[in-house]
Amino acid sequence: MATDDEQSFLDQYDPAAFERPSLAVDVAVLTVARGALQALLVQRTEHPYLGAWGLPGGFVSMDESLSAAARRILREKGGLDKVFIEQLYTFGDPVRDPRMRIVTVAYYALLDAGRLGHATAERRFFELRVDWEGETGGPVHPVEDGAELPLAFDHADILGMAVRRIRGKLDYTPIGFQLLPETFTLRQLQHVHETVLGRRVNKDSFRRRMLASGQLEATGEREQEVGHRPAELYQFARRSAI
Amino acid sequence: MATDDEQSFLDQYDPAAFERPSLAVDVAVLTVARGALQALLVQRTEHPYLGAWGLPGGFVSMDESLSAAARRILREKGGLDKVFIEQLYTFGDPVRDPRMRIVTVAYYALLDAGRLGHATAERRFFELRVDWEGETGGPVHPVEDGAELPLAFDHADILGMAVRRIRGKLDYTPIGFQLLPETFTLRQLQHVHETVLGRRVNKDSFRRRMLASGQLEATGEREQEVGHRPAELYQFARRSAI
DNA sequence: AAAATAGTGTCTGTAAGACAATATAAC
DNA sequence: GTTATATTGTCTTACAGACACTATTTT
């Protein structure tokens, strides 16, 4: 394929010739649990921000794609496998890290509350406080005992971006299902939407809209032992039917 | 601010200790002209893809932000200043560049057709062919004399992502105005929307929706010498009034 | 006057919000 | 039966699409 010219160029090319930023990946792992939006945080074991909480992250290896790096970090630092991830935004302020120039490609991951894993002293989920409506607003901080927890680096900005993104996508794409187990009731789905959006939604139109969307498939099963009339269990409709 | 421990850590940190990808920025400059969506392409003067057309791009300097790099590239390689830009997506396939590992942060820029600058042999706008509807679909190629023009690297993927992004944002954010001069008629705005979306839109409801959105401000002026009843000229309503 | 597009008014269909009525489980 | 929520049906309102009609400019 390559011409002689191009081959000789490639042979002579020195990849180390120029100084370059480091490249990292950070992942905002979000879930809905105990009626609130929550994010997975890990306690830093290195400088800078030693001991502070932050998003799981790490450097991109030379031979892995960005999404592969995100999945590896989720596995290594979050103990999580097979979760939904999507690229969020790339943060490249020259002074976002005091050590050196580090550009980070942020991803977000969505998880149903049944798969949180076990909390440890240095890795657990924190409730998020979003003090703005819709997609207006800036950083989002976790709270602990009612107090805002400061985060390392610009990770509160990354969480803010993640919340804006999923609020925006919730009504147009099937990401709400990623926050629920395999089967769920319409009430559970509505509850997830309300928690993510930070506002109540109309029950009747939510129900009609979801059923009309073609994204839901009735399983014929019903929820059990709920102290009232049990609701039908649905699952996310794979595109196969379309 | 830094503790003694942290200071000594920072002093000893060696930024060159690990191999890392190169970091570049590519910009998809889009405009609507001659009834079609167009993109600015430059002819490559180096290997790889010597002589092929591609998006203007370049490496990120150590002390500039990503958006500053995008603006610098627009100025240096596109001869453009003060244009609307927004981050699009980061492309990091390990083999997207045959030379070495290069991760690129793609931006898109929107320009009104009156500011295209003068075309040169190695830098000009090409019409884009989008052969899918809505936001479904993959790469987008430029066309020249009816034939698809192959692009360097994964730049057709970047153009595809840019088209999906602006189609999705058009109805919710005021990006349509970025593709028009300071003042414009409702027909011109509708024409821009139709060209970007790749489909006709209903004139009456478009007009009602735009006027009700509060994003438009009548100037009191009218278009001149058009061979029919002249339309009112509008401008994008700065948020000042809200 | 003819041509062409701007702009207004009205009707219809669709979907959301509101609310009432009925259904079905646990207790 | 009581309680609590699921599910269905109906009415109202808001808005998009469609279409008819009037307005205003150039030729």
3-state secondary structure of B46: coil
Q: Which residues of B touch A17 (CB under 8 A)?
A: none
pLDDT band at B27 (very low <50, low <70, confident <90, very high): very high
pLDDT band at B15 (very low <50, low <70, confident <90, very high): low
Provide the percentage of residues in chain B whose pLDDT is more than 90: 75
Tens-digit pLDDT profile for residues A47-86: 899 999 999 999 999 999 999 999 999 999 988 999 999 9
- B58: closest CA among B71, B49, B50? B71
Homologous superfamily (CATH) for A22-170:
Nucleoside Triphosphate Pyrophosphohydrolase (3.90.79.10)
Q: Which of residues 154-193 of B touch strand C (CB under 7 A)?
A: 185-187
* pLDDT above 90 (res B13): no
Q: How does the average pLDDT of chain A come out, rounded?
A: 90
CA distances from B85 to A138, B29, B137 (A): 20, 9, 23
Count other C-beta atoms under 10 Å from residue A120's C-beta: 10
> What CA–CA distance (Å, rounded) separates B195 from B46?
34
Structure tokens at A215: 């994204």
Provide the percentage of residues in chain A whose pLDDT is more than 90: 74
Neighbouring C-alpha atoms within 13 Å toward the C-beta of A96? 25
Structure tokens at A24: 């990292």
CB contact under 8 A, B47 and A5: yes
> Burial level of B116, CB count in 10 A (0-12/13-18/19+)?
middle
Q: How does the average pLDDT of chain B come out, rounded?
A: 90
Query: Is-same-fold flag (B22-170; B176-241)?
Result: no
Tens-digit pLDDT profile for residues B130-183: 999 999 999 999 999 999 999 999 999 999 999 999 999 998 899 999 999 999
* pLDDT above 90 (res B57): yes
**Distance D9 C1' – A3 CA (angstroms):** 73
pLDDT band at B241 (very low <50, low <70, confident <90, very high): very low
> Burial level of B63, CB count in 10 A (0-12/13-18/19+)?
exposed
Do B206 and B185 touch, CB atoms closer than 8 A?
Answer: no
* pLDDT above 90 (res A36): yes
Count other C-beta atoms under 10 Å from residue B10's C-beta: 14
Domain boundary assignment for chain A: 22-170, 179-241
Q: Report the pLDDT value the prediction gives residue B119, as an integer from 0 to 100.
A: 82
CB contact under 8 A, A90 and B93: no
Is nucleic acid strand D under 7 Å from A210's C-beta?
A: no
* pLDDT above 80 (res B4): no
The pTM assigned to this predicted structure is: 0.91
Is nucleic acid strand C under 7 Å from A212's C-beta?
A: yes
CB contact under 8 A, B100 and A5: no
Chain B interface disruption, residue of A103, A136, A169, most B CBs within 10 A? A103
* pLDDT above 60 (res B10): no
Structure tokens at B84: 């609307």
CATH fit for domain B176-241, picks 1.10.10.10, 3.30.70.100, 3.20.80.10, 3.40.630.30: 1.10.10.10
Residue in A10, A20, A59 closest to B98 by CB: A10
Q: Which residues of A touch B59 (CB under 8 A)?
A: 18, 20
Identify each DSSP E strand in chain A by its residue range: 22-33, 36-43, 53-54, 57-59, 84-91, 102-111, 123-129, 141-144, 147-148, 183-184, 216-222, 232-236
Tens-digit pLDDT profile for residues B210-219: 998 889 999 9
Tens-digit pLDDT profile for residues B194-205: 999 999 999 999
User: Which nucleotide is closest, CA of A211 to its C1'?
Assistant: D7
* CATH code of the region A179-241: 1.10.10.10
* pLDDT above 90 (res B237): no
- B108: closest CA among B165, B171, B37? B165
Per the model's pLDDT, the better-predicted residue between A131 and B225 turns out to be A131
Count other C-beta atoms under 10 Å from residue B215's C-beta: 18
> What CA–CA distance (Å, rounded) separates A10 from A12?
5
